[in-house]
Amino acid sequence: MMDKQAIFEKWINRKDEEFKKETKESARLFAKAQENLPGGNTRTVTYFSPYPLYMAKGKGCKLYDVDGNEYIDFLNQYTALIHGHCHPAIVEAVNEEANKGLSFAAPTEKEAILGRMICERIKSVEQVRFCNSGTEATLFAIRAARLNSGKSRIVKIEGAYHGSHDLAEVSVLPVLKEAGPNDRPVSVPEHRAVPKSILDEVIAVPFNNKEATEKIIREHQKEIACVIMEVMVAISGCIPAEDGYLDFVRDLTRELGIILIYDEIVTFRLGQGGGQGIYDIQPDLTTFGKVIGGGLPVGAFGGSRELMKVFSPLEEGSVTHSGTFNANPMTLAAGIACLKELTPAAMERINSLGELIRQGINSILEKNGVVGMAIGLGSLAHVHFNKERVRDYRTYAQGNFQAITLLHRELLERGINIAPRGGEIAISTPMTEKEIKMFLTAFEESLIEIKPFIKQTTPELII
C-alpha cells in the first residue's frame, strides 16, 4: 500500500502536467529568473511547485497571467487589495502624485491626512507613524513597548505571524513534535538563523486558552514588555477569537501593567474600527499595513500620545525612527484614496459576501460528505480539511494540507485564484454575489475531483 506522500505525488504530478500545458510562458519566465534570483523569485509565499504563475495585469476582481489565462482573484495580494486591481480613484491619485514627484527627503501634507484618517477610525490610536511594511510596523511597535516599559520579553500567540524580523519569527508554524505541550508551548525558531537569545525573549501562548495564557503570563509578568496578538489568527487559517478570550487578555494585561499590541495588518479591513472595533476593545498599540497603502508598500504603528512620544524628535531622549521611503507621497496618495472608498457600506457589503462564501463552502462540504470547514471573519475566509474544529494552531496543524494544495490547483484550472499556501480567501469590493456563486460552483467541482484523494489519505474525513 502506498503511503500518503506517494499518493500525493501521484496526484500532484498529474496536475503538474496539466498546469504546464496552460502556462508555458510562466515556465519560460521562471526558468530565466532563476539565473539571477535564488529560487526564481523574491517572495517565498508566492512560490508553488512546479513554478508560480507570472501575472501580466489585473483589473477589478480579475487577474490575467502571461499566457492569457483569466482568473477571478480571491487572494487579492494576500488581503491588501481590498478594492481589487486598478481601482480608478487609486490609480488617478497615484498618477497625480507621480507627476509632482515620486518621493522627497521631507514630509508632505498627505502624511498628516492619512494619519488623521487612521486615528479617526481607530479609537485607541491618537498618534501614528508610517513605515514601509508590516514587518517594520510590528518591529517598531514592540520597540515602543520595550522603551516605555523598560522590559524586554514579549508574549505572542503560537501560530501567529507578525513579520520577518527575529522577534516575530518564533513559533509561527512550528513542527508539533518540537512545540511542547498544548498548554505550555515551547518557543520554536522559524528557521535556523533565529538566535537562541531571541527564543529566550519570546514567550508563546496558545490561542483561545484562557487558563494556559493566564498561567504563563502571570509566571513571567515582571519580565514582559508586551503581548502582541491578532483578533483573528490569520496565517493559521483565519481563526477567530472565542469565549471572551480577547476581553480576558485585555483585562489581564491591564491588571499586570503589560502593554497590549494588536496587529491589525490583516484585520483592519474587517470594519471601520478594525478588528478591535468589532470586539470593542482598545489595545495600547496597534500595527497597520496592507489596505492602508491602497496597493503600494506600507506599514504604520500607533497608540496613545504618551506611548508614541518616545519617537518624537521634539522630546528629549527620543529614539530615532527613520526610513528612506517612510510616508512617501505615492503610498500616502494611494492610501488616502483607498480609505475614502472604504465606506461603512462598502465594508458591510463585502463582509456579507464573506459570510455567504463561508456558508456556501460549509454547505457544499456537508452535501458531498467531506468533513471540513470554512472559518474566518468579515471579508476573509479559510478552507480547512480537519476533523476537529479549528480553534488554535494545534488543531489547525492536524489538517490535510496536501488536499488544500490539490484544491488550489483544481480551482486555478477553473479560473479561481486563492492562496497556494492553504485555502485563504479575501473578498474585494468589485465582487458581487455573481463571483461568489462562480467560486462555489468551482469549489464543488474541485471538491468532487479531490474527494478520492481525501478518502485515500484521510478516510476519517469522509462521511
Which is the catalytic residue, given 263, 279, 392, 393? 263
Bridge-partner residues for 204, per DSSP?
A: 156
Closest CA to 442 of 404, 412, 419: 412
CA distances from 88 to 79, 338, 347, 430 (A): 19, 10, 18, 12
Unique residue bearing C-alpha cell 486555478: 412
- Specify whether the CB–CB gap between 74 and 427 falls below 8 A: yes
Which is the catalytic residue, given 110, 151, 156, 290? 290
Q: How far apart are CA 463 and CA 449, in angstroms?
A: 16
Amino acid (one-letter) located at 57: K
In angstroms, the first-to-last Cα distance of the chain is 22
Closest CA to 358 of 207, 235, 237: 237
Q: How far apart are CA 309 and CA 159, in angstroms?
A: 31
**Catalytic residue at 161?**
yes
Taking residue 206's Cβ as centre, other Cβ atoms within 10 Å add up to 23
Which is the catalytic residue, given 51, 161, 279, 393? 161
Amino acid (one-letter) located at 440: L
**Catalytic residue at 183?**
no
Unique residue bearing C-alpha cell 503600494: 296
Q: How far apart are CA 34 and CA 197, in angstroms?
A: 35
**Catalytic residue at 263?**
yes
Strands 285-289 and 259-263: parallel
Q: How far apart are CA 116 and CA 166, in angstroms?
A: 31
CA distances from 260 to 134, 276, 307 (A): 17, 12, 12
Q: At what angle do helices 4-22 and 401-413 cross, to 10 degrees?
A: 20
Q: How far apart are CA 362 and CA 372, in angstroms?
A: 8
Query: Using omega within 30 degrees of 0 as the cis cutoff, is the peptide bond preceding 50 cis?
Result: yes
Catalytic residues, by residue number, are 161, 263, 290
